[in-house]
Structure 1
Amino acid sequence: MTGSGPIARVAVVTGAGSGIGRATAIALDRAGWRLSLLGRKREHLEETAEQCHLAGTPPLVCPTDVANEAMVDLAFSQTLARYGRIDLLFNNAGTSAPKTEFGEVELSHFERVLATNVTGAFLCARAAYRIMRSQQPQGGRIVNNGSVSAHVPRPNGAPYTVSKHAITGLTRQIALDGRAHEIACGQIDIGNAETGAAAGLVAGMQQADGRIVAEPIMPIKSVADAVLFMAGLPLSANVQFMTVIATAMPFIGRG
């Protein structure tokens, strides 16, 4: 990232059509970043773009399946063509599978979650890394969206838990390899934010002892503000891992 110099900062946000991706894109826009928005559905991305206009340049909308290598490479090429550089990737796109006891997990569900959450994250990070390595001034920052499930699982969530543990490995590898190119990489692990899944949390989630318990949630803005903090650091500093949770959620002591 180039800091407060004359070159405008450019961010790519994946999964930008809703939830944490949308909230973070809006926060980055208000902080003056130029944006490239990636997600599956153009109409959802355009809804996000309509709320992002303070930086003076309308966001670039790039409908993208992050698990598709050609689509990812095209989106990053379009971003580079428009803005000339990339300073930040918020690697946020993700999906989950139905809660299923481990012995009954369907391979198709497992493969679908890993395709988006792991392969997709890898492809987007690799595309950003290649650009950041080559651009002048060199470098940039990648923030991967992990989860508290990167630390401890919920019952019956094998595909998602496995995928988020993989993100931790991806983050560490990029952080190591990126040192030579002024590329910083960190991970934000989020628990119980006010997204589309919040209704299920309020209604009650299965706990390790089998009870169904309503869980507290935190404002989605809290997550966006945390990502904005990570993004705003100079490249000489890095938040390697940040865990942001609803204070009273059953995470500490889960299981």
Structure 2
Amino acid sequence: MSNLTGKIGLVTGAGSGIGRATAIELARQGATVTVTDIDERTAIETTEMIRTEGGEALTATVDIADEHSVRTAVERTVETYGGLDFAVNNAGMASHHRQLDRMTLDEFERVVQVNLSGTFLCMKHELPAMRSRGGGAIVNIASAGGLCAIPTAPAYVAAKHGVVGLTKVAAVDYAPAGIRVNAVCPGPTRTPGFEAVAATASTGTDLTAMQEAATPLGRLATPEEAAAAAVWLCSDAASYVTGIAMSVDGGGRRA
């Protein structure tokens, strides 16, 4: 029997990619999952996938940059299922390929607002719910860009470095409450988000081929591979792990 059986969790950005793969695997491991996404249609699709396999899931439409939206999703989870044991904060956004001096302030602030402030808002409301349960686990999906530079992505890299820092501080602050807080830092992964970024690359640039060539394992990750790390960190198998930023990057750059 999985040590996630009977646990209650919430996954943001679960309508596609890593978030969807994570929500589905958590349910397969016996957890009840609140599936959240800003896109209600894709969130419902993930929920139906879970239910088709016999799992239990709830759909919530959430904009992580809006505190009321986040708070409502957490409260609804607690009211429906009786508590919150873990959360995977996966929702985020990419930024355009351009150097810092070519970005507008509005663009920079929007990327930071979603990726960093959105993660902060999720944690702000998840942590008290877990504390009332006597403990829990939070996994923030950062990025390889939270550990090293990604050329022409200054806002994204700044925000994801911030997510890693936020994770480490929360891990220390909430350890006495029995709450573990970790980050997963995926490298290039075949998700709809990556495909969208690749489609905006400069003419003649094959971003997928470039990333594969730069990765020692010679390929992009699948969403399921990143999800596996998040699910493990949510589980009791990682009961003595907190405050880490786990690379799932095929051996990519670290500096």
Same-fold status (TM-score > 0.5): yes
- On the 8 A contact 1:198/1:217 being kept in 2, the answer is no
Partner of 2:86: 88
CA distance in 2, matches of 1:94, 1:214: 20
- On the 8 A contact 1:29/1:54 being kept in 2, the answer is no
CA distance in 1, matches of 2:7, 2:159: 30
Partner of 1:188: 184
Q: List gaps (5 residues or longer) in structure 1.
A: 207-211
**Which stretches of structure 1, 4 residues or longer, exceed 4 Å deviation after superposition?**
54-57
CA distance in 2, matches of 1:152, 1:4: 34
Measured against aligned partners, the alpha-carbon deviations of 1:103-155 in whole angstroms (never above 9, x if no partner) come to: 111111111111111111011111110111122xx010000111111111111
Partner of 1:153: 149
1:1-255 aligned at under 5 Å gives the runs 4=3, 8-53=6-51, 56=54, 58-135=56-133, 138-199=134-195, 200=198, 204-205=206-207, 213-215=210-212, 216-233=219-236, 236-239=239-242, 240-247=244-251, 249=252, 251-252=253-254
- On the 8 A contact 2:232/2:238 being kept in 1, the answer is no
The alignment's TM-score, normalised by the length of structure 2, stands at: 0.87
Give how far 1:236 is off: 3.9
Identity %: 30
Measured against aligned partners, the alpha-carbon deviations of 1:196-227 in whole angstroms (never above 9, x if no partner) come to: 24442996339xxxxx9352312221111111
Distance 1:180 1:235, change over 3 A: farther
CA distance in 2, matches of 1:213, 1:17: 27
Measured against aligned partners, the alpha-carbon deviations of 1:66-96 in whole angstroms (never above 9, x if no partner) come to: 1111111111000000111111110111002
Partner of 1:209: none
Cα RMSD, aligned residues only: 2.3
The alignment's TM-score, normalised by the length of structure 1, stands at: 0.87
- On the 8 A contact 2:27/2:55 being kept in 1, the answer is no
- On the 8 A contact 1:40/1:64 being kept in 2, the answer is yes
Q: Which amino acid aligns with 1:186?
A: N
CA distance in 2, matches of 1:41, 1:242: 28
Number of equivalent positions: 241
Deviation larger for 223-232 or 42-51: 223-232
Give how far 1:55 is off: 7.7
- On the 8 A contact 2:17/2:193 being kept in 1, the answer is no
CA distance in 2, matches of 1:226, 1:115: 25
Q: List gaps (5 residues or longer) in structure 2.
A: 213-218
Deviation larger for 19-28 or 223-232: 223-232
What secondary structure, in the 3-state scheme, does the structure 1 residue paired with 2:125 have?
helix
Q: Which amino acid aligns with 1:222?
A: E
